[in-house]
């Protein structure tokens, strides 16, 4: 594949997910595509689900060429519970599903006063309700059979911080984070672990076209990231693999921010340096400071 991939085998045991099947929604593009690549490197078989079947099939062809694993592609609009029922039945028809990655999402930039109810509903239906529909269909099977599966939701730091012009997506991501906490508690007795990865801004074709729109914005965002760069989808993969691995056996209902520190509060220190430079830079002595 063309995009930089996360070198999963440099971090994780190469057979970590052999004999496992991972269902990834939105697995044909962006972050989901790279997550698929990470699991495939570690031997997992995959089920990829999204609306555009041709894109899933190209991903499947590349993954088969690269790793020779099994890949099933299923067309599904996750906002439609009936389609989700059929898709999840199709996923389990390929064999037991062991890990679910709810990665599919939708977003757009709109001043909230100009947002139409139709657009609000479309985003909430996909991001929040769609995540719930897929989770419910998969987990009720696990509860029935006693399989202790893993769910990893692709949330967002906007779900914690809010983000102007992204009201429905931010609200839906907050909902996903809360849903993970609720279900982590409710389904712990079934051994089901449900956690989320919350990326900050990530450069994908989808996010560039919908959100960042030009290179100047990328540059501005990069300056706000304490770790100093604008990440690509490959930066998100390791955390998803971790949450699916036995290393995360005792973690449920948790959120991991994968944002290079972007969502942390801007430090007062920067203001001090700007407006009181002598005090901020003066050397500390060993004597008790006058506070």
Q: How far is the CB of 74 from ligand NAP (least distance, A)?
A: 10
Coarse DSSP helix, strand, coil percentages of the chain, rounded to the nearest 5 percent:
50, 10, 35
| Contact indicator for 103, 135 with CB cutoff of 8 Å | no
Residue 135 buriedness (CB in 10 A; 0-12 / 13-18 / 19+)? buried
Among 12, 30, 46, 151, binds ligand NAP (CB under 6 A): 30
From CA 156, how far away is CA 111, in angstroms rounded?
19
- Taking residues 42 to 81 in sequence order and writing x for each that binds ligand NAP by CB under 6 A, - otherwise, the string is --------xxx--x--------------------xxxx--
Q: For residues 45 and 126, which CB has a smaller minimum distance to ligand NAP in the complex?
A: 126
Task: Indicate whether 154 belongs to the interface with ligand NAP (CB under 6 A).
Answer: yes
Q: Which of residues 164-223 bind ligand NAP (CB under 6 A)?
A: 199, 201-202, 204, 206-207
Q: What are phi and psi of 45, to 5 degrees?
A: -90, 155
From CA 85, how far away is CA 134, in angstroms rounded?
8
| Contact indicator for 258, 201 with CB cutoff of 8 Å | no
State the CB neighbour count (10 A cutoff) for residue 146: 8
Q: For residues 209 and 284, which CB has a smaller minimum distance to ligand NAP in the complex?
A: 209
Q: For residues 93 and 109, which CB has a smaller minimum distance to ligand NAP in the complex?
A: 109
Q: For residues 130 and 168, which CB has a smaller minimum distance to ligand NAP in the complex?
A: 130
Q: How far is the CB of 164 from ligand NAP (least distance, A)?
A: 15
From CA 234, how far away is CA 38, in angstroms rounded?
9
| H or E element in which residue 38 lies | helix 30-41
Among 107, 239, 252, 263, binds ligand NAP (CB under 6 A): 107
By DSSP bridging, strand 45-50 and strand 99-102 are unpaired
Q: For residues 38 and 199, which CB has a smaller minimum distance to ligand NAP in the complex?
A: 199
- Taking residues 217 to 256 in sequence order and writing x for each that binds ligand NAP by CB under 6 A, - otherwise, the string is ----------------x-----------------------
| Contact indicator for 221, 158 with CB cutoff of 8 Å | no
Site of interaction with ligand NAP (CB under 6 A): 25-26, 28-32, 50-52, 55, 76-79, 103-107, 126, 130, 154, 156, 199, 201-202, 204, 206-207, 233
């Amino acid at each position: 594949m063309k995009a930089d991939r996360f070198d999963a085998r440099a971090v994780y045991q190469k057979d970590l997910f052999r004999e496992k099947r991972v269902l990834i929604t939105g697995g044909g593009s962006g972050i989901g595509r790279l997550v698929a690549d990470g699991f495939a490197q570690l031997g997992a078989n995959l089920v990829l689900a999204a609306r555009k079947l041709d894109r899933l099939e190209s991903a499947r062809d590349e993954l088969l060429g690269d790793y020779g694993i099994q890949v099933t592609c299923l067309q599904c609009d996750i906002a439609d519970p009936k389609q989700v029922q059929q898709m999840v039945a199709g996923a389990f028809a390929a064999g037991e599903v062991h890990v679910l990655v709810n990665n599919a999402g939708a977003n757009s930039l709109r001043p909230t006063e100009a947002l139409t109810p139709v657009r609000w509903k479309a985003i909430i239906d996909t991001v929040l309700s769609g995540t719930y529909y897929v989770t419910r269909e998969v987990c009720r099977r696990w509860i029935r059979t006693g399989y202790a599966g893993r769910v990893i939701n692709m949330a967002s730091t906007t779900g914690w911080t809010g983000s102007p012009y992204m009201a429905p997506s931010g609200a839906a991501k907050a909902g996903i984070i809360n849903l993970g906490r609720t279900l982590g508690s409710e389904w712990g007795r079934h051994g089901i672990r449900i956690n989320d990865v919350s990326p900050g801004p990530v450069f994908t074709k989808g996010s560039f076209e919908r959100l960042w729109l030009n290179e100047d914005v990328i540059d501005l965002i990069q300056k706000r990231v304490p770790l100093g760069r604008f990440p690509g989808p490959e930066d998100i993969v390791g955390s998803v693999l971790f949450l699916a691995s036995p290393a995360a056996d005792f973690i449920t209902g948790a959120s991991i921010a994968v944002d290079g520190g972007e969502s942390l509060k801007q430090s007062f220190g920067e203001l001090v340096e700007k407006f009181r430079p002598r005090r901020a830079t003066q050397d500390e002595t060993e004597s008790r400071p006058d506070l």
